[in-house]
Each structure stands twice: as structure tokens, then as C-alpha cells.
Amino acid sequence: MIKVEQLTKKYPGVTAISDLSFEVGKGEIVGFLGPNGAGKSTTMRILSSFMPATSGRASIAGHDVFSDSLRARMHLGYLPESVPLYGDMRVSEYLRYRGSLKGLSGKKLRNRVEVVKELCSVKDVENQLIATLSKGYRQRVGLAEALVHEPDLLILDEPTIGLDPNQIRQVRELIKSLGERHTILLSTHILSEVEMTCSRVIIIHRGKIEASDTPENLVGQIRTSGTVKVEAKTGSDDPVQMIEKIPGVKNVSVNMEDGWQQCSIRVEANSDLREAIFRLAIARHWVVRELTQERATLEDVFVELTQADD
Ligand SMILES: Nc1ncnc2c1ncn2[C@@H]1O[C@H](COP(=O)(O)OP(=O)(O)OP(=O)(O)O)[C@@H](O)[C@H]1O
Ligand SMILES: [Mg+2]
């Protein structure tokens, strides 16, 4: 659905992206991640034919985004980083206007405007001036605009930025449901959101791709180790000394609270030592009230890949 080949974009004095290549297949929901200034918005702007690349190629549904941009854009709904809405138009009027620019007319146009208003929950503000909308509602109107011509691909640049937690949840659910019928490329800094919605993640750093895989595989591959938490009454035993003897344990720190030893155990990556710790506790007659493993998260992956060489 998206094909990017050796794409490079240079601004005066800055190479925003260099030699970027990736593909997004039909039906995928791909999270496009990277630190501030990594080149996410630049890539998305090129894909939406908003500006040309310096070199390399990009196509959408087989249409070159530069030489065949009209046809490429028929397949694409784009939500830019800062949504450019017309403040002095009313919501319905704006969506009709944008729909007509995208080639819709008559009954089809009226119909699609109604559908996207429902879908993006902006029906209750349909007659309001856009300038008077709250940020969250503007974001939803932007999303409705991106969807109005029924594109099969959505490119969303930080769709939940500036939204409150309830709205973030609503937009996340909306994206998930859109993912059933659309291909989606989505940039965000909320990594838990990516873990919940995306089937694949592309991480870019300084204009280059650092990783491209499922969230699960990325989390499984990193060097960052997990942590096991144990809370126990250990009598006269020194839990640190005993737990440290278990193979796979890197280090143990302990904190005493109300007679309970709270141990935080760093373990080697991809190991689960809960069973060994449980057996030790039984053998030593410890009273255990918590035994949990905290896994590495996508945030750990992100930090490892984009901070390592700073
Ligand atoms: N119009 C421009 N002129 C000059 N430099 C630019 C322009 N737009 C972006 N840049 C630079 O290109 C680099 C990539 O910017 P880009 O906006 O693509 O990053 P991003 O990954 O979207 O970051 P963020 O997470 O902050 O949105 C940055 O160094 C930025 O300063
Ligand atoms: Mg950006």
C-alpha cells in the first residue's frame, strides 16, 4: 500500500531523512515512532504529496506520490501534525467543502459527510464554527476530513496530541475500528497506545530506520532485562543473599516495610525466575504476598534504540 525507496529529504542545513526505505502492506496498522526531530512528519508530508523529496521514491497503491499525486491522494486520508481547519466555517459546511474538493458531489457527498460525522462523534457540534471548537473536537473534525472520501489508507501524524485521557481513549478505539477496513500509518509518542493498536512498529532515529517489527518481537529482542518483585516475610533469612544465588539473577535490592521484605530482582532478558523464587520461598518457609514479573515494554525498546549512541 505504501512503498518508500531510498527517500532523502534535505532542508537547508538539515538532512531530515536519509535513504529511508520501508513498505506498509494492505490492512496493516503501523506505528511510526521516533524522538522529536527524527523525521516522522517529514516522511508523512512527502507521502501526502505536500512537498517533494530531495531524492528517492515513494508510492501509494502503486501511484508515485509526486508524478501521479492526484491518483495517490485519492487513496489517502491525511491528518497533519497541526490540523489546518477553516475557523470561520461550520463543521458540516467544512466537511462538505473538503469532500467536494476531493471529488465527491450530490447524494454521495451528503451521505459521506453524515457517515464521518457519526464515526468521529462530531454530530453534536455540526453547526458550530470551527474557531470555537475545543482542541479535541478540532482533532476529530480533522479525522473526519481525512476520512470523507473513503480512502483505503490513513496517514495520521500524532492524532491524539493535546487530547485529554478520555478523548485519547476514544480516538484510540476509533483508530482500532478503522484498522479493520483501512491501512494505517500512525505517528505518536504514546507508546502504550502503539502496543494496543499497532500490528507493526517502525522506529526512526535521525532520519534512519532503527527497527521494524511487531511490538512483541521488539520487546523480546532487547537487552534490557525484566524485574521480578517479591514481597515476603523471610524470618531470620537474608533474602538478598539467597535470591542472588539463583542462576539468571543480576542483582537484588531490598526495602523493608512493616515487617515485609520488598525485593526488586533484576533478571536477565527473556528469563522468568518466578518459579525458582517460589520454590526457594517454600523451602525456606517464607510468607509471600506478592510475586510478579515486570516485562520490558516498548518504551524500553524505544529508549534503547534512540538513546544508546547519544
Ligand atoms: N520546513 C523545514 N525547514 C527546515 N527544517 C525543517 C523543516 N521541517 C522540519 N525540519 C527539520 O527536519 C528534522 C525532522 O523534522 P520532523 O518534523 O520530520 O520531525 P518529527 O519526527 O516529526 O518530530 P516531532 O516528534 O517533534 O514531531 C528536524 O531536524 C527539523 O528541525
Ligand atoms: Mg512531527
Sign, Cα dihedral of 41, 53, 144, 197? negative
pLDDT band at 292 (very low <50, low <70, confident <90, very high): very high
pLDDT band at 105 (very low <50, low <70, confident <90, very high): very high
Task: Write out pLDDT tens, residues 51-70.
Answer: 999 999 999 999 999 999 99
Distance CA 74, CA 61 (A): 10
* Nearest in space to 267 (alpha carbons), one of 283, 239, 244: 244
Determine the pLDDT at residue 13.
92
The pTM assigned to this predicted structure is: 0.83
Determine the pLDDT at residue 223.
62
pLDDT at 310 over 60: no
pLDDT at 42 over 90: yes
CATH no., domain 2-221: 3.40.50.300
Take atom 12 of ligand 1 and give the residue whose Cα is closest: 16
227-294 CATH pick, 3.30.70.1340, 3.40.50.300, 3.40.50.620, 3.40.50.720: 3.30.70.1340
pLDDT band at 196 (very low <50, low <70, confident <90, very high): confident
Q: Please give the share of the chain, as a percent, with pLDDT higher than 70.
A: 98
pLDDT band at 170 (very low <50, low <70, confident <90, very high): confident
Q: Report CA-CA distances (Å) from 57 to 85, 111, 116, 183, 302.
A: 29, 36, 32, 20, 27
Q: What are phi and psi of 76, to 5 degrees?
A: -115, 135
Q: Ligand 1: which of 7, 36, 156, 188 to mutate, judged by most atoms within 8 Å of the beta carbon? A: 36
pLDDT at 308 over 70: no
Q: Where are the domains of the chain?
A: 2-221, 227-294
Higher-confidence residue of 127 and 294: namely: 127
User: If you search the block for the grid coordinates 527473556, which residue do you land on?
Assistant: 270
Proximal ligand: closest to the CA of 36: 1
Determine the pLDDT at residue 115.
95
Determine the pLDDT at residue 135.
85
Q: Ligand 1: which of 14, 81, 82, 160 to mutate, judged by most atoms within 8 Å of the beta carbon? A: 14
pLDDT at 31 over 90: yes
Same fold, 2-221 and 227-294: no
Distance CA 234, CA 256 (A): 11
pLDDT at 309 over 70: no
CB atoms within 10 A of CB 258: 6
Q: What's the whole-number average pLDDT of the chain?
A: 91
